[in-house]
Chain A
Amino acid sequence: MSTTRRIFLRNSALAMFGVGTTPLWLQRALYAGAPAPRKKILVAIFQRGAADGLNIVVPHAEKPYYELRPTIAVPRPTRAAEHREDSAIDLDGFFGLHPSLAPLKPIWEDGRLAIVHAAGSPDPTRSHFDAQDFMESGTPGRKATADGWMNRALPPESGDASCLRAVSIGPVLPRILRGVNPAVAVQSLGDFQVKDAQAAGALETLYADSSDPLLHATAHETFEAVSLLQAVQKRPYQPANGANYPKGRLGDSLRQIAQLIKATVGVELAFADVGGWDHHVNEVGPRASVGQLAARLTEFGQALAAFWTDLGDCMQDVALVTMSEFGRTARENGDRGTDHGHANCMFVMGGAIRGGKVYGRWPGLAREQLYEGRDLALTTDFRDVLAALISSHLGNPDVRKIFPGYAPRPSNFV
């Protein structure tokens, strides 16, 4: 954090709380002479609706890919200028990015973007609801799990911790962040307050005195976060390095997450989701770079790239991972779309990520290689990817507790 920003934060926060009432952890954060050891941050993005991994990271050297998808495959990479925008962007001679993900290519070339293909949940369900639930609880096949893996992944902290350690951008707190550790859902940083100071005080007292444990606890987290975010929000946010977030939910969410990270308010886990990936009909337009999937990917690629640019050096401490509940059928269906499938691809981006490589064993798309004769088979459990980030990046070694009943296999991309 720059000196001016630190002073500004200190002044505004103190003006708001008065010295005596400033929470201890905030005092520590604001007065720390030498910078405290910086917290590592994990950002998780959920693509709800089952994104079509085979058209996102395209196995362009696989012949069966083109046989299975005669009308919706992304064409092989080409040097011909007139077709370049509608062809896969080659990554390693075998895989290529969907053309609408061009903004991610420079990060790949920097070696800070890794891809894990044929990854996902081993549970065979093809229900959006169940599969999302399993990916958020971190316990595929076990519905009784009450909390989410991100909540469990929060490293232990003694005493007076920031109320914004775990944040979700959106109107409801998602399953992935529910649990015993405090987590806050924020729809928009600017509107995160009670719009009448007097009523706010009265309500805060009512909830503090309430014997309703659920609402009491939620309100406690809420009012703490309100105070802190008001300190952050004194000035309109200007993304750095010319970063340009796309319009739409994901761009808005990542911009606000970047703002929170740069304000050093103690965020360690952040979550955002983006829907619209369930393309049973007309997934691809007349060319690969137009149509429903291309539109979703344009926003996705631009949002991730803007986040990367905006955070700049801060990305040393940040890792971002993407997931989607399952992949889609290897074969296109009768409506130029795809149905619910199995394995998918995950993106991992960060300053400490060994990127520029597609990880995971590729199972192939020949008929006998497909899962249940129809879907990309799974070779990497999503928990392996997450466990690597939680242990090596967040420094929380207790991954067996975070993914009960599972022994994650080591990954080497962090």
Chain B
Amino acid sequence: MAFILLGRMNPGAVAIALTAATICLMPAVPAYSKKKPAAGAPFREPLAEDQKTVQALNRLTFGPRPGDEQHVRAMGLKKWIDLQLHPEWIAENPVLGAKLEPLDSLNMSTARMLESYPSPALVKAMVDGQIPFPDDPEKRRMVQRLVERYERKANSGKTEEPTAARLPDLLTAGQLHTFRTGSAQQKLDVLNSLSPDRREQVLDVIPQPLRLQLLPLATPELRRLLQSNAGPQAMVAQDLVEAKLYRAVYSNRQLQEVLADFWFNHFNVFLDKGVDHYLVTSYERDVIHPHAFSKFEDLLRATAQSPAMLFYLDNWESAGPAAPAGRRQKRGLNENYGRELLELHTMGVDGGYTQKDVTEVARCFTGWTIRQPRRVAEFEFNPRMHDDGEKVVLGVRIPAGGGIQDGYKVLHLLAHHPSTAHYISRQLAVRFVADDPPESLVDRMAATFLHKDGDLRAVMKTMLSSPEFWSLGAFRSKVKSPLEMVASSLRALDADVDFGFGLGNQLTQLGQPLYRKAEPTGYSNSSQEWVNSAGLLARMNYSLALVNNKIPGVKVSADQSAAVTLGSPEFQRK
């Protein structure tokens, strides 16, 4: 099969790109060979050296870029893996820093984000004097515009947003004419010639197609104004989605990003559940990302105390029925977190716990709550909500009067339980090795987990030094998730991503809206999840849109045939 990827490039670049295509599409001995060998045998058949490089790039990164294979070979596979296991030793790509810089919500505390990107409910609270207006003059002006909009809506009694019909009130006849018939640059010039106030009024009402037309030409500052029309709170979600895509595509610390994706999904929270809209940013930045190579207990504790998880699984409202706050506010025990902690976060559904254990665990975590979720949003232990009686979890007695220690004890117990070691190891093996990984591999990973105090880097090392990882049974046996498909295509084509929301929409079409998996299970790590007719068509159409430069914010230079390459069965495998 010949894959001619790129048309409008110099010969050197074409050669590199062709190599990339070979990497991505190598028609090597497939794992799904028709002759079915004895069970377990494919996981004993070693890969050739070239295949090993491909396997490493397919599984430990979001897909090879042109030149990556040579780079890994020149460095030596062992050293490259060692670096990926220690991301702090790798210099980060300056391009990534530049892309992330304008996304200012990513670095804000939750309190500051709530103030800077308020929801309609918060704007109303500001109008009602319940909370102060922001100090920053620019943010203050934005809030004032929101207040105006809010009042306009309240007065007109309609729910519709102001529309382009208001443009004639805001622009001169000449400007209006340019807006209707001019080039994108001319329209942008009109916008830039307006006073800041007038410009913002105009930005409030311009129609979506015009917005999309202006985005590629706009400065980062103007771009944020253009995008925030749907309401400033939408920017918080958009920054998250864009950042995730930028990191997947541009980060040099690829394994860390792959693991961040894995662990976020393992400890899934849902962006659209109430105030979680503002809590996910800190969750990913402060809880998931820094713990990709930590001890499992540290990661587990960080999730247990994160406002995002406390809110998502309702633990922040769970109170001992007899505790003072429980009695007064008629609140009671909520088992949601306790159950998912056992089933999804640690032991697995077959890990050997009972309904009674679920209830006892939930009792231990009463009082683990959030201080002012809509203002401060920090973890707090509230002894007045805590059920201070004795509990028995998995046969271990937790004496009365332990307070916050009850929860710590449970987390320690779970983080060192053999069921947890096995369940976590298996989840990692399903993601990194094969949909149905050999039990012998999982057992060895679990042994490392127990022996090394849940050191996740050590567990990864055991997996990456196993013959199973480097076997024909594992090689190209997994189907990419939509995120992996999108990121790997952008990397293979060396795409320039100027802004990411177009790609975010594509991922929704492909069945994997980022940060929006409602169920605590997260997306399945198994290939089956993604193989179906709707998903397959969406992948083909995404490939066409990408290659034809039809995705807003993304530029590639590739031949038409690249669309077929990206949509092909080979490219869906990793």
Measuring CB to CB, which residues of chain A are less than 8 angstroms from any residue of chain B? 48, 124-130, 170-173, 178, 184-187, 191-196, 199-200, 202-203, 206-207, 210-216, 218-219, 221-222, 225-226, 275-276, 280-281, 333-335, 339-340, 372
Contact = CB atoms under 8 A, between A and B. Distances in A.
B34 A334 contact: no
A165 to B, nearest CB: 13
Interface string B323-354: 00010001111111001000110000100000
Contacts of B572: 215
Contact of A281 (B314, B519, B528, B536): B314
Contact of A171 (B33, B34, B510): B510
B569 A280 contact: no
A125 B349 CA distance: 9
Interface string B24-35: 000000101110
Contacts of B567: 199, 203, 206
Given A207-B569, A334-B326, A178 B528 contact: yes
21 contacts: A126-B358, A128-B521, A172-B534, A173-B531, A184-B532, A184-B534, A191-B541, A192-B537, A196-B544, A199-B560, A202-B561, A211-B30, A211-B32, A212-B573, A214-B531, A215-B536, A216-B569, A218-B532, A276-B518, A334-B318, A334-B321
A255 to B, nearest CB: 17
A170 B538 CA distance: 12
Contacts of A129: 343-344, 349, 519, 521
A213 B343 CA distance: 33
A215 B477 CA distance: 12
Contact of A127 (B339, B537, B541, B570): B339
Contacts of A222: 533, 536-537
A130 B349 contact: yes
A71 to B, nearest CB: 8
B535 interface: yes
A194 B531 CA distance: 16
Nearest to B340: A127
Given A170-B534, A172-B529, A334 B564 contact: no
B563 interface: yes
Given A129-B349, A212-B569, A212-B573, A218 B533 contact: yes
B355 interface: yes
A170 B529 CA distance: 13
Contacts of B531: 173, 214-215, 218
B541 A194 contact: yes
Q: Which one of A127, A193, A225 has the highest number of Cβ atoms from chain B below 10 Å of its Cβ?
A: A127
A217 B251 CA distance: 36
A171 B508 CA distance: 9
A213 B335 CA distance: 43
Contacts of B358: 126
B334 A335 contact: yes
Interface of B: 30, 32-34, 314, 317-319, 321, 326, 330-336, 339, 343-344, 349, 355, 358, 479, 509-511, 518-521, 527-538, 540-541, 544-545, 560-561, 563-564, 567-570, 572-573
B349 A185 contact: no
A259 B483 CA distance: 32
A185 B544 contact: no
B564 A199 contact: yes
A136 B563 CA distance: 36
Nearest to A194: B540
Contacts of A185: 532-535
A126 B34 CA distance: 40
A221 B532 CA distance: 9
A229 to B, nearest CB: 10
Given A185-B535, A216-B569, 19 more contacts: A129-B344, A173-B531, A185-B532, A185-B533, A191-B541, A193-B537, A206-B567, A206-B568, A210-B569, A212-B573, A214-B32, A218-B531, A221-B533, A275-B518, A281-B314, A281-B317, A333-B332, A334-B317, A334-B332
A172 B544 CA distance: 21
Contacts of A202: 561, 564
B317 A126 contact: no
A125 B339 CA distance: 11
Contacts of A184: 532-534
Contacts of A280: 314, 334, 336
Rank and list the top 5 A-B pairs by shortest CB-CB distance, nearest first: A334-B332, A173-B532, A171-B511, A222-B533, A334-B331
Contact of A203 (B479, B528, B568): B568
A333 B544 contact: no
Contacts of B34: 211, 213
Given A211-B32, A215-B572, A335-B331, A203 B519 contact: no
A104 B314 CA distance: 33
A206 B569 contact: yes
A214 B318 CA distance: 45
Contacts of B317: 281, 334-335
Q: Which one of B314, B536, B537, B567 has the highest number of Cβ atoms from chain A below 10 Å of its Cβ?
A: B537
B533 A195 contact: no
A225 B339 contact: no
A303 B333 CA distance: 35
A199 B519 contact: no
A128 B536 contact: no
B314 A219 contact: no
A149 B535 CA distance: 22
Nearest to A170: B534
B440 to A, nearest CB: 20
B562 to A, nearest CB: 10
B533 A173 contact: yes
A171 B573 CA distance: 19
Nearest to A372: B355
A341 to B, nearest CB: 11
Contacts of A226: 537
Nearest to A219: B536
Contacts of B519: 48, 128-129
A148 to B, nearest CB: 12
A199 B339 contact: no
B480 to A, nearest CB: 11
B332 A335 contact: yes
A372 B359 CA distance: 13
A130 B568 CA distance: 34
Given A207-B569, A218-B536, A195 B30 contact: no
A367 B534 CA distance: 48
A334 B533 contact: no
B538 A171 contact: yes
